Amino acid sequence: MKKILLLTAGALFGLFNMLPIPWRVRVLWMRFLYFLTWQGTRWFPGILSWTQRQNITYRMGKQSGEDYESIVQLEEVLKRLESLGVPPQQVKLALDQAEAAGVAYEAYGAYIAQAVLEPADAHLILQESLQATRY
């Protein structure tokens, strides 16, 4: 049932895009779609795991250990550490420790934040980065 609904919605979406819409209007439509997707993943984070399951099924896109959320989390942590003026040498030390301890790639962001910052600050950054991963 779910699959039929999805196929129907996808087919209608595909058909809608076949309409002879002027280029400028089409650009606005695409930007609106971006907004909808951004809101969708913000309110329904399960979309991201569905996407990852699809990637595995079709062997395309990011898969296990490469998920978008962990990439964004690491990036957000690094941005914050840089803006706080934390010397990169400290991050290097944390990264070396993570490698030596066999930490999974998905957990690098959290590991670095916890190794470099006070627990309360690390918690705050990780909470904020969680918001940023919503697309």
Partner 1 sequence: MDATQVCIQFTGGKDSTLLAALMAREFAQVHLLTFRNPLIVNLELVSVNVGKLKQLYSEDKFQHQLLDNEALLRELYTGQWLRDLKKYNSYAANNVCSSCRLAMIAHTIRYCRQKGIREVRDGANRTGFDLSQQPWSLELIRQFYQEYGIHYDCQLLQASRNDIDLLKLGLEAQPPLYFYRSQPLCKGGGEIHNIYFRCYFLPRYGRQGRQQRDIEWLHDKLERCREYIAAGEVI
| Residues of the shown chain interacting with partner 1 in the complex, contacts defined by CB under 8 A | 3, 6-7, 9-11, 13-15, 17-18, 20, 23-24, 27, 29-34, 36-37, 51, 54-55, 58-63, 65-66, 71, 74-75, 78-79, 81-82, 88-89, 91-92, 95, 105, 108
CB of 120 to partner 1, least distance (A): 22
Distance between CA atoms of residues 121 and 69, nearest Å: 20
Which is nearer to partner 1, 57 or 127 (by Cβ)? 57
CB of 87 to partner 1, least distance (A): 8
Q: Which residues contact 33 (CB under 8 A, 6 or more apart)?
A: none
CB of 29 to partner 1, least distance (A): 7
- Using an 8 Å Cβ cutoff, are 81 and 116 in contact? yes
Element (H, E) at 6: helix 2-16
Q: Phi and psi for 28 in degrees, rounded to 5?
A: -65, -40
